[in-house]
Structure 1
Amino acid sequence: MKRYSVYRNIRKRAEIMGLSIPLFALMMTSVIGSLLLIIFSFSFLVVLGVFVLNAVLYIALTNFNKHPEWLHLKKVFPKTISNKKESPLNYEDN
């Protein structure tokens, strides 16, 4: 009888070819631009350069996907969020 394992990683991010969705879209944009460059150029060096560029981009994007802290520049949200009005008056002393 065939046994099936339980899929426990349902909350992980979706990945295509080891890249998250935005990074995969960036890679596909680069591939489509490279194909246009290959179609309209007749140089063998350009074709090789495009393949090398896409390979380097893929390696860099997979490294960014494995280590997302490299792209984290600053905090977006404050440490605390409060609905309290900022007022110079102190009502607690009364």
Structure 2
Amino acid sequence: MKTYKVYRDIRKGALIFGLPVSLFALLMIAVVGSLLVIIFSFSLGIILALITLNLLLYFTLLKLVQSPGLFHLKKVFPSTISNKQINLLSYED
């Protein structure tokens, strides 16, 4: 019998080579820039350096996708929302 994935898995987002579309676009911009550098300054050292830099960028982006909490510095919303005015007087005594 054929099995299908649960529908909620579709809502996780599109991934290309394990990266979200925005990070994949960043990677492709880096690759195209590297190709331009290779075309206009053709040497073996530059080719090897750019290949290693592109691979390093790819693996770094994969690591960031797997653990998104690395650069999450602060919470966006407070834990509680209140209309109570902040006052130094204590009315509970």
TM-score band, normalised by shorter chain: 0.7 to 0.9
Q: For residue 59 of structure 1, what is the aligned residue in structure 2?
A: 59
How many equivalent pairs are there? Answer: 88
Q: Deviations over 1:58-88 (max 9, x none)?
A: 1111111111111212212222234x37476
RMSD over aligned Cα, in angstroms? 2.2
Pairs within 5 Å for 1:35-46:
35-46=35-46
Structure 1 residues not aligned, in runs of 5+: 89-94
Q: For residue 18 of structure 1, what is the aligned residue in structure 2?
A: 18
Pairs within 5 Å for 1:1-94:
3=2, 5-8=3-6, 9-82=9-82, 84=83, 86=85
Q: TM-score, normalised by structure 2?
A: 0.78
Structure 2 residues not aligned, in runs of 5+: 88-93
Percent pairwise identity: 48
More displaced 10-residue stretch of structure 1: 8-17 or 39-48: 8-17
